[in-house]
Amino acid sequence: MLTFALTIVRHGETQYNREKLLQGHGIDTPLSDTGHQQAAAAGLYLKDLHFTNVFASNLQRAIQTAEIILRHNLHSSKIEMVLDPLLRERGFGVAEGRPKEDLKNMANAAGQACRDYTPPGGETLDQVKMRFKKFLKSFYQRMLDEHAPPNQCSASCPGSSEPEPPVIAGLANDCVHGVPVHALIVSHGAFIRISVRHLVDELQCCLPPGLKMNQVFSPCPNTGISRFIFILRRAESGPQATHIHCVFVNRKDHLDDAK
């Protein structure tokens, strides 16, 4: 079994974000000047953490954000970054490149809530969730293969028992002190929101006391940071998460300094 931490960061601002235009995964825009500053602030906030694995969407706004975060990191600046198209933003079809207000109008015309509406040619929420599930399957296997070889780890390994509820002090290293395996993922707002909902609703992720559901499922700001603790075990059907604890969601303390 293996216990590891996962920190998820949304990419920094792009000009499309600033102008409230939809990007999806068909429009590959770079970070704006503000986005570079936000990514640097996130990197400074996370600089003392040791990431053993780094994954990013293969869109340039996510790649640039991950590169800047690693550049500021004191322990992981040389780590190899894995680019995975499964981590790309939700596809918004014909709405990509158009104002977000257009998507709201399209959803209203269809009699649906904006977050549930799929524009023509776009990805449904279930399709994005399936992408995340596919990523999780390969991600779990990679983490076990790299950090818990069968001949070196068993159910009696240190750190493989059920974790205590997270003690959150509002620090960058919340719940990762003493956890030697720590993955970083840099992705996108809608993708992260759907992924977090899957972890909470379907994988029974435990939430810290006082965290309300509307906070959990709120939109992630640019370079917003979320963290989870996983315990994995090997099974005949493939790797399984026996416990998942949410530490925090959409934290943006680092942006105060960026402003």
pLDDT at 214: 86
Digit-coded pLDDT (tens) for 193-210:
999 999 999 999 999 888
> What are the pLDDT digits (tens) for 208-255?
888 888 888 899 999 999 999 999 999 899 999 999 999 999 999 999
- CA 249 from chain centre, in angstroms, equals 10
| pLDDT at residue 166, as a whole number | 61
- Token pair, residue 214, equals 């509307």
* pLDDT at residue 258 tops 70: no
Closest CA to 221 of 247, 259, 183: 259
What pLDDT score does 259 carry?
60
pLDDT tens figures, 14-44: 999 999 999 999 999 999 999 999 999 999 9
- Predicted local distance difference test score (pLDDT) of residue 169: 86
Run of H or E including 231: strand 225-233
Give the CATH superfamily of 2-258: Phosphoglycerate mutase-like (3.40.50.1240)
Most trustworthy range by pLDDT among 87-91, 161-165, 255-259: 87-91
What pLDDT is stored for residue 111 in this prediction?
94
pLDDT the model gives residue 151: 59
- Average pLDDT of span 82-95: 98
pLDDT given for residue 42 in this prediction: 98
pLDDT of residue 174: 95
Backbone angles phi, psi at 56, to 5 degrees: -145, 150
Say yes or no to pLDDT of 161 above 70: no
Residues in the annotated binding site: 10-17, 61, 100
Q: Tell me, what's the pLDDT at 48?
A: 97
What letter would DSSP give residue 198? H
pLDDT at 83: 98
- For the entire predicted model, the pTM comes to 0.93
In 3D, which of 188, 189, 193, 175 has the Cα closest to residue 231?
Answer: 175
CA angle (82, 84, 90) in 5-degree steps = 145
pLDDT beyond 70 at 158:
no
pLDDT digits (tens, 9 = 90+) for 90-149: 999 999 999 999 999 999 999 999 988 999 999 999 999 999 999 999 999 999 999 987
Residue of 11, 198, 243, 245 marked catalytic: 11
Domain ranges of the chain: 2-258
The binding site for substrate comprises 10-17, 61, 100
Give the three-class secondary structure for 56: strand
* CA-angle at 35, arms to 34 and 38, nearest 5°: 85
For the question of residue 89 being annotated catalytic, the response is yes
